[in-house]
Amino acid sequence: MTRWLSDDERRAWRGYLDMNAQLSAHLHRQLQADSGLSLADFDVLVQLTDRTEPRMRVGELADALQWEKSRLSHHLARMNKRGLIAREDCPDDARGAFIVLTEKGRQAIEQAAPAHVDTVRDLVFDHLSAEEVAALAAISARVLGRLGRGGPEPA
Amino acid sequence: MTRWLSDDERRAWRGYLDMNAQLSAHLHRQLQADSGLSLADFDVLVQLTDRTEPRMRVGELADALQWEKSRLSHHLARMNKRGLIAREDCPDDARGAFIVLTEKGRQAIEQAAPAHVDTVRDLVFDHLSAEEVAALAAISARVLGRLGRGGPEPA
DNA sequence: CCAACATAGGTGATGTGTCAACTATTCCGG
DNA sequence: CCGGAATAGTTGACACATCACCTATGTTGG
């Protein structure tokens, strides 16, 4: 027996889906227009920047991003072709590879980040109360917790 | 001068992005495994079902979904090939086309919907308080309001 | 009537995400 | 030290989204 959603839940769900679609589209266009980077590029570059170590193993990057390795592999190939990152052989493990930020990649992320953050503020946080920000964090944590535990919830 | 996000905001933003990524991936896999439909298929079929009129103009569908017409056109071509929808000529306007739900499409959506709703409940709403649901709706409305102002305004 | 324009919708190229299968290496028990 | 299992990462096929452009038709002012 399936329970349908209540009116409030349906409203919240539709709102969430719509916000998602429009927000990510908007952020992607802004970033692309402003810096030529995609949101995916941005996330990869942030990971590579947020470390003292300049090199990062592909698997480590995949874990940090929570991306499937296949997705990352494809994406790194594209970023490599555009000169945003480069590959280095891994001496300890001949199967592995290091990914390094190129100068061009560093410039791209440094140029892109401020406007991106401004856009996020402008579209989201400038319009939310502290309570709403807390609620968003709480909701995310709750749902992510549920997603983390595999399988359906035992009654 | 760019202000960076506060700790709380950063936490909320990361949570939101992670929740999004994982939630949509999970919902997509569930729907796909359970019924062979994608989330996009599902949304299209819902629009076609939620009407008394069995036929719908392509543009009308695009408006309802808030999809770009090109996206819809491509997607309808795929759904048509799989027999989920069909096209009909529009007598009033030879440029236009009607989209109709096929029997196969109707069966697919009717079979898919209950499990999908159950999954949404199980992953999201079973874990949120009434206040959190209200907050989610409020946040979405606020952000969508901001996104709405500034877009292509129908003069 | 007709030329300019607007509208409905489709097309092809490109970038992105997923799945399944693959290659090359490393690890590990006997 | 060797053969099978695990691991690192890649590849190819396909679904999807966007962009820029295209076709065909409708609309409208002169």
- The model's pLDDT over B108-134, given as tens digits with 9 standing for 90+, comes to 999 999 999 999 999 999 999 999 999
Q: List the CATH code of the domain at B28-112.
A: 1.10.10.10
Strand order in the sheet with B85-89: B55-57, B97-101, B85-89
Please report residues of A whose CB lies closer than 8 A to that of B23: 143, 147
Nearest CA in chain B to A154: B122
Chain A positions in Cβ-Cβ contact with residue B62 (cut-off 8 Å): none
B1 touches chain A (CB under 8 A): no
Q: Which nucleotide is nearest to B81 (CA to C1')?
A: D15
Distance B77 CA to D21 C1' (A): 19
Judged by a CB distance cut-off of 8 A, whether residue A1 touches chain B is no
Residue A155 has pLDDT above 60, yes or no: no
Query: Residue B132's closest chain A neighbor by CA?
Result: A135
Contact list in B for residue A122 (CB cut-off 8 A) is 146
Which of 31-70 (B) contact A at CB < 8 A? 66
pLDDT in tens, A58-115: 999 999 999 999 999 999 999 999 999 999 999 999 999 999 999 999 999 999 999 9
Q: Which residue has the higher pLDDT, A4 or A79?
A: A79
Please, which positions of strand C sit below 7 A from a protein CB? 7-13, 15-21, 24-27
Q: Where are the domains of chain A?
A: 29-147
In SS3 terms, chain A reads as CCCCCCHHHHHHHHHHHHHHHHHHHHHHHHHHHHHCCCHHHHHHHHHHHCCCCCEEEHHHHHHHHCCCHHHHHHHHHHHHHCCCEEEEECCCCCCCEEEEECHHHHHHHHHHHHHHHHHHHHHCHHHCCHHHHHHHHHHHHHHHHHHHCCCCCCC
Give ipTM to 2 decimals.
Answer: 0.92
**Fold held by A29-147:** Arc Repressor Mutant, subunit A (1.10.10)
CB contact under 8 A, A15 and B135: no
pLDDT in tens, B50-70: 888 889 999 999 999 999 999
User: Which structure tokens are listed for A59?
Assistant: 């698997």
State the best of A140, A144, A149, A153 to mutate against chain B, taking most chain B CBs within 10 Å.
A140
Q: What is the pLDDT of residue B152?
A: 37
| Chain A contact for B73 (CB, 8 A cutoff) | no
pLDDT for position B155: 33
Question: Quick one: pLDDT at residue B31?
Answer: 97
